[in-house]
Amino acid sequence: MAYRLLFVCLGNICRSPSAENIMNHLIRQAGLEREIVCDSAGTSSYHIGSPPDRRMTAAAKLQGIELIGQARQFIRSDFEEFDLILAMDHDNYEAICSIDPAGTYQDKVQLMCDFCTNHKLREVPDPYYGGTEGFNFVIDLLLDACQGLLDFVIKEQNLTPSSSPSIERS
């Protein structure tokens, strides 16, 4: 059974689909497509059915990452479906946990930046209302966090990659 990761932000059009697609890229490079499966969701219903934001798509493309997918909202059954739920910021974390008031699944919810090895930020900032540099920064931050997350999952699940995943940064 594959290890299942869910990335969550507010609208599921910028940060979480970027994390999902970056992670899938790294998983493919490592040859672990059968062992690790990713999805993303938003805590709000603002953008259900929408593709990833075009500005985020352009920033990811600069790093050789294609953003695909459609926005969906986080639902209670996601707690059962996924092994690890990664919130982009504290507000997302709180929104996810509010759906589980008994705290039954709290051990499955973590902040994405907990897996960063180069960046010191504790949250992935929402670039939606900013300029190009904000989107580029978020991609760089998520590249760092996803690599750390993949290393964590490989170690925790005792997986053997077929190659060493890494993204060439321009």
Residues acting as catalytic residues: 9, 15, 126
Using a 10 angstrom Cβ sphere, with 0-12 exposed, 13-18 middle and 19 or more buried, the burial of residue 57 is: buried
Phi, psi of 39 (to 5 degrees): -150, 175
Written as six digits, the tokens of 154 are 């490989």
In which order are the strands placed within the sheet that holds 3-9?
A: 36-42, 3-9, 84-87, 109-111
Q: What whole-number distance in Å separates Cα of residue 21 and Cα of residue 155?
A: 21
**Residue 21 CB neighbour total at 10 angstroms:** 24
Written as six digits, the tokens of 102 are 């008994």
